[in-house]
Structure 1
Amino acid sequence: MDDLGLLCDDGHLGLLLDRERAEEDRDVLAWLVEAEILPRLMLAHRSARSTLAAPLNDPDALAALLLNPEPFDLDGAVDSLLLSGLPLDRLLLDLLAPSARRLGSMWEEDTCDFLAVTEGLGRLQALTRRLCAGMERSARPTGRSVLLMPCPGETHIYGLSILASFFRESGWEVTNLGHSAADPAELLGEGWYDIIGLSLSCDVCAPALQALIPALRRASRNPSLFVLVGGPYFARTGADPAAFGADAYAPDAWSAPRLAEAALDRQTLTC
């Protein structure tokens, strides 16, 4: 009996010890959740809220978000702006394009890592392609064609993609050499283009543009080729497009197709 009683007492004691260990483990787990995990989750939640609550109508704020390594819903934030009543053309011209220029300036001024800028621009370009694809679907062809290209040596080509979309939305057939190594003189000599649009951002590239435009006119099959220039250089300096051999300056992508159409209509009336 004594041995049996001792065995029962030892078994009971073992159960008590197991229960105490389980309660201890739960207490430790509760402490970890309360003292470590919850504060970190709350901090992460506050950071996400502050990031998404940033004023996306400010190009500098958007540029900062694009450089932020933390994930955020860029598409959702931009869609919210559109749902709030911001027109798509203003979103592209007043927010996305200036943000791209800001990223490029930060790289040129060596205030930001090149890889971070590249990744930020990649996110911006993917968003722009999605937005512009919807804008272009309603286009009605006009039979007019435009060749778009950056000035030789130019690295800022994001704006050309937006410009190309505005021309396509207006029904133009667009050839964009922003990411192409094709020779524009050959294209102008082999095909027919009503307009050529050239973008210039950097002062150092201005002499190249002055030399390029007369050469493109000589190469063109179209003797009445209309040359349109644009970009931050002209906005910043107020330079006369005629000094470069161009016919007109377009201050933004919204006005460029209308300016080009008006120029061709005048040519038609003159003929």
Structure 2
Amino acid sequence: MIDTIGSAPEDKREQSKTGACDGIIVTREIQVLKRDRLQRGEKDKLRHLIEGPVAAMTAEQLSIDMDTGLENHPRYDTAISGLRHLVLQAGTRLDDLLSCLQNALPANSPAPVKVLIVEAVARRLGREWSEDASSFVDVTIASARLQDLAQALATESAYRSSAHPSPFAAILLPKDEQHSLMAHLTGAFFQAFGWHHQVLSHDQATRSEFAGVVGRADAVCVGWSNMRLRPEVQQLIYDIGLNAPSVNQPMIAGGVAALDSIDLLVEMGIDCVCDTAYSAVKVADNFNNLEKMNFGTPPVRSGQNDQAKRIDWRLP
């Protein structure tokens, strides 16, 4: 809105001619600035960024805030509570968890919503653990079951998108990282949004396997939950840099320790630190859309664009 807050219409009609002219001049200057920006292609970039992710969303996706998760969304409380009960119940099988999600959600629910439910249960269990409301054994068993569920959801999405060329995300863990649930949830989100992915631990891959995964990745995600693994994380990021095919490959970090070490990670070359699995995928997806506009489809990964300006995702 252009009207000044607190100004009544009659006050505006009584403005002096000088004031009115000033307003016209300012308005024209703003229009010129906007036109200049449009000439530099900003309109097309914004249009593609908006149309790309938004056009594919259903009405249900638009009605929820995926950035904040579903923990406080009343429509999904029954599904979250039901799944939480099952992952803590003795004798629960993977089929039981999949059936719970299938029955608790509308038939036309988009794939990301299922993953959001799993993430919400993981967050709830994390809060219960920190508040001593759940035992270590319960949380450990529940986390393992949720990880199996996340992998199953990723496999379902992979079947749906296997016939189409898709971008690839490498989700990497430092040596000795024991917490891999969020890495697999991130992978499930990537698959739900049409990507392919691979979760790989730094100490479980050969040098050539690691180089191959990083070399073909359109985005790299690093999971870090244990502060004692700082040297291992530094080594991991260093090795990623050695094998990255282009400076245009975004590096995204997440995890409890990552959120407490943002400055350090930025100094080491991380482009963005995310507090949810969904936000990490959204950053990667936006970057991939920009790459398509700048270099065509698929994004260039041959190294000839190494001198291209790297987008700084830390900017607002």
TM-score bucket (shorter structure):
0.5 to 0.7
* 1:89 correspondence with 2:112: yes
C-alpha distance 267-246 of structure 1, shift in aligned 2 (>3 A): farther
TM-score by length of 2: 0.52
Task: Please give the alpha-carbon distance, in whole angstroms, between the structure 2 residues aligned to 1:226 and 1:239.
Answer: 19
Contact 1:200/1:232 (8 A) holds in 2: yes
1:252 aligns to 2:277 (yes or no): yes
| Structure (1 or 2) with the greater helix fraction | 1
Cα pair distance change 1:130/1:210, threshold 3 Å = closer
* 1:198-253 residue CA offsets vs partner (Å, 9 max, x unmatched): 112233334532343123212x1614362422323278548244233212334433
Q: Do 1:196 and 1:225's aligned partners in 2 also have CA atoms closer than 8 Å?
A: no
Aligned 8 A contact 2:112 2:192 in 1: no
Partner of 1:12: none
Structure 1 residue 87: deviation in Å? Answer: 3.9
Distance 1:189 1:179 in 2: 11
Distance 1:210 1:178, change over 3 A: closer
> Alpha-carbon deviation of 1:55?
4.5
In 2, distance between residues paired with 1:56 and 1:208? 40
What is residue 173 of structure 2 aligned with on the other side? 150
Q: Secondary structure at the match of 2:216?
A: coil
* CA spacing shift, 1:126–1:190, aligned 2, 3 Å: closer
Instruction: State the TM-score, normalized to the length of structure 1.
Output: 0.59
Give the alignment of 1:94-173 within 5 angstroms: 95-103=117-125, 112-114=135-137, 116-139=138-161, 141-142=164-165, 144-173=167-196
How much does 1:197 deviate? 1.5
1:67 — aligned with what? Answer: 88
Percent of residue pairs bearing the same amino acid type: 20
1:187, distance to aligned residue in structure 2 (A): 2.9
Gaps of 5+ in 2: 1-75, 297-304, 309-316
Alignment of structure 1 residues 7-22 onto 2, 5 Å: none
Contact 2:115 2:188 in 1 (8 A): no
- Structure 1: runs of 5 or more not aligned: 1-53
Deviation at 1:170, TM superposition (A): 4.5
State whether residues 226 and 247 of structure 1, in contact with CA within 8 Å, keep that contact through their aligned partners in structure 2.
no
- Larger C-alpha radius of gyration, 1 or 2? 1
Would the alpha carbon gap of residues 90 and 212 (structure 1) be closer, same or farther in structure 2, given more than 3 Å must change?
same
Contact 1:148-1:160 at 8 Å conserved across structures: yes
1:131-150 deviation per Cα after TM superposition (whole angstroms, max 9, x unaligned)? 33332333254364332112
